[in-house]
Structure 1
Amino acid sequence: MSVEQMSVSSLDLPLREPFEISLGTQHNANNLLVTVETENAIGYGEGSPLTPVTGETQEAALATARAAVELLEGRNLADYRNLVSDVRSTFPGMVSALFAVETAILDAYCREREMPLSELFGGSPEPVTTDLTIPILSPEEANDRATRAVEEGFDHLKVKTGTTLEKDVARVEAVHEGAPNAELAVDANQGWTPKETVQFANELQSRGIDCSLIEQPVPADDVKGLARARNAVSIPVAADEAVFTPADAIRVVREDAADVLNVKLGKSGPLAAQDIASIARAANVELMVGCMLESAIGIHTSAHLVAGIGSFSHIDLDGNQLLAEDVIPTTRGSEISIDGPGHGITPE
């Protein structure tokens, strides 16, 4: 089960529509694809670098993944934990590149064993239901997007915020009007202060709009501010960009800074995500899973983790729903059907 060959290439995927958040606008997902070949199997991994979040450009991520090849060729996939540990200690902080490399390793290992990736995390590959994200749009466009989402079968929507409170409230109100029976969450992507978070929550309450979650309202390095926001509002608060590693998760838990930890494989990789999930369960903190603008490769990898661990309260795995064309034929809708071996995706 040794690594006979690896390859690294860019994976550029146009979006159906521009995707704007408080950190910028994307028109394409400029990703990377890593393959790991053994005698009997090929494993596939994907990363989706976004400089304001991951700190990487696509070029830097590609260079890191290519450098990792020298550490891995010829090594035994049965030692996958050591392999992952070696590349992560050699290239600290290069999270998108390492997500692609780690996924390809685990996928190849599971394909060699003819087992679904979910079994590596303790469960069978059951279907996973995701929300759909409404980006930063005008109220009219947000209302239209919400109406379309309901028609496509989505009953959980996440609304991007983090601009001005007036515009953010108007956008959420428009989504609520377009999808009055949908459960709503918001994601400020670090765009507010603790005070603005409280003002936003009060504005929604005054309009009778229920909100299930406020995700990362304040800057990632302001954990104390996150705690202040969390303690001042009745809506559950999630830590996203504040949690890349298990150590980050421990800090957020110790400072009582969040009700929910967002486990995003594009930040931590599958194995560390499993550790963060264990920390959350031990601390009685809810779990969320998120994604970047990934194709079915990255999305199904995350869905296998969810199915394997089985204790996620919030599921935000809609990245490939936002693409003009996926790496495999993809049906629009909230249910993600997963299979094996590995994560089950062989890109066309």
Structure 2
Amino acid sequence: MKITDISVGVVEAPLITPFKTALRTVDCIRNIVIYIHTDTGLIGVGEAAPTAVITGETNASITHAITDYIKPAIIGMDIEEFAGIMERLENCIYKNTSAKAAVDMALYDLFAKRYETPLYKLLGGYSNKLITDLTISVNDVEEMVKDSLAAVERGFNILKVKVGKDPVGDVERVVAIRDAVGPNVILRVDANQGWTPKQAVRIIGALEDANTNIELVEQPVHYSDIEGMRYVTANTLTNILADESVFSPKEAITVIEKRAADLINIKLMKTGGIYQAQKIVHIAEANGVECMIGCMLETKISVSAAAHFAASQKNITMVDLDGPLLCMNDPVTGGPAFNGQVITMSGEPGIGFSL
């Protein structure tokens, strides 16, 4: 089954409410969707999310990378040459991880369709269900409490609370949410690089003293400040999750060796797809470090690929795949079923979209 063409389009989905973090505010998803065509008629689908403040990519740069670098590198190759295709994908252009992720997941979609099996089974088939958290955007205290209660009403018992824009008020935000939702809801806090190391230790210490029982704090300081991450991890009791600090297997090794985090968040848009993500999860597992699977602002296409990957791995113990749940409507049909916090894998071949 040879690759004959790669076509590029756009997928859009307005958000129910604006998505606000310490880094950006977004009200509508506008991502690149790609289709890999083959001489058998089978088509693989993938998606790339432009996240300039994290990956440095835009829709224009993603399209350029795919059409001018990736496509010429792999066109004409047989899907059975999978490792060789992945080597060319990785080496044809530096970084551009979201562009690579879209192509990577489309290739995995094709590979699983070739063998008429759901992708998660081909990758290991550890589970067929996942439980995701739901993101609470950073706003004033009253609005975040209201959004948290609404999420609990929808049946979510794991919330990821965005903070980091206002260090002085972040403790108040989390304490108010804990008081509102009660002790049985799991709270994860994501600072999106918004604190200094000393601020992080002070804020996390205050949350611990207030008995907020936070499961973890994600990326408290700037991604490049590995020593700062290590300082925070060493001086707090709460688990620290590395996100933007880990794009590659090499960075995962550095974070683990330096004990700069207790946990690692894997996102396909950071790793360049499933092929590299597998390396990270195996490195982490070998060192006793559990992983989360996360997503950027993505539609059901790429989130479904991430769900298949997560369902195949024992060491992915936390799931943050709420992208489709933040959208006003679903722009595609097929893939895993997203019913509240429960994601259920389907029996359809590949990622689960019929084209």
TM-score by length of 2: 0.94
Partner of 1:48: 49
Cα deviations by residue, 1:12-36 (Å, 9 ceiling, x for unpaired): 3221111110111111222110111
User: Please, which of 230, 235, 252 is the counterpart of residue 232 of structure 1?
Assistant: 235
Change in Cα spacing, 1:226 to 1:336, as seen in structure 2 (3 Å) is: same
Change in Cα spacing, 1:328 to 1:174, as seen in structure 2 (3 Å) is: farther
Q: Residue 37 of structure 1 contacts residue 108 of structure 1 at CA under 8 Å; is this kept in 2?
A: no
Aligned mates of 1:156, 1:37 — CA distance in 2: 39
User: Please, which of 343, 346, 349 is the counterpart of residue 336 of structure 1?
Assistant: 343
Matched, 1:32 2:10: no
Aligned mates of 1:239, 1:223 — CA distance in 2: 10
* Shift in Å, 1:165: 2.2
RMSD between aligned residues:
1.5
Aligned mates of 1:310, 1:343 — CA distance in 2: 19
Aligned mates of 1:30, 1:93 — CA distance in 2: 21
User: Please, which of 90, 93, 98 is the counterpart of residue 92 of structure 2?
Assistant: 90
Aligned mates of 2:294, 2:108 — CA distance in 1: 20
Aligned mates of 1:147, 1:310 — CA distance in 2: 31
* Shift in Å, 1:331: 5.1
For residue 313 of structure 1, give the secondary structure of its aligned residue in structure 2: strand
Partner of 1:159: 161
Q: Residue 125 of structure 1 contacts residue 304 of structure 1 at CA under 8 Å; is this kept in 2?
A: no
Change in Cα spacing, 1:54 to 1:227, as seen in structure 2 (3 Å) is: same
Partner of 1:278: 282
Stretches of structure 2 lacking an aligned partner (at least 5 in a row): none
Aligned mates of 2:134, 2:254 — CA distance in 1: 29
For residue 26 of structure 2, give the secondary structure of its aligned residue in structure 1: strand
* Shift in Å, 1:346: 4.2
TM-score by length of 1: 0.96
Partner of 1:65: 66
Aligned mates of 1:311, 1:124 — CA distance in 2: 10
Q: Residue 296 of structure 1 contacts residue 345 of structure 1 at CA under 8 Å; is this kept in 2?
A: no
- Supply the AA of the counterpart residue of 1:145: D
State how 1:109-148 maps to structure 2 within 5 Å.
109-123=111-125, 126-148=128-150
User: Please, which of 195, 209, 213 is the counterpart of residue 210 of structure 1?
Assistant: 213
Aligned mates of 1:114, 1:41 — CA distance in 2: 11
Identity fraction in percent: 35
Partner of 1:176: 178
Cα deviations by residue, 1:260-317 (Å, 9 ceiling, x for unpaired): 0111111111011110001101111111111111111111111111111122222111
* Shift in Å, 1:207: 2.1
Aligned mates of 1:69, 1:267 — CA distance in 2: 20
Aligned mates of 2:63, 2:328 — CA distance in 1: 23
* Shift in Å, 1:43: 0.9
Q: How many residues are matched?
A: 347
Q: Residue 101 of structure 2 contacts residue 274 of structure 2 at CA under 8 Å; is this kept in 1?
A: yes
Partner of 2:3: 3
Q: Residue 121 of structure 1 contacts residue 274 of structure 1 at CA under 8 Å; is this kept in 2?
A: no
Partner of 1:251: 254
Aligned mates of 1:213, 1:345 — CA distance in 2: 34
* Shift in Å, 1:191: 0.7
* Shift in Å, 1:108: 1.2
Q: Residue 11 of structure 2 contacts residue 331 of structure 2 at CA under 8 Å; is this kept in 1?
A: no
Matched, 1:74 2:76: yes
Q: Residue 215 of structure 1 contacts residue 240 of structure 1 at CA under 8 Å; is this kept in 2?
A: yes
Aligned mates of 1:89, 1:175 — CA distance in 2: 46
* Shift in Å, 1:5: 2.4
- Supply the AA of the counterpart residue of 1:2: K
For residue 43 of structure 1, give the secondary structure of its aligned residue in structure 2: strand
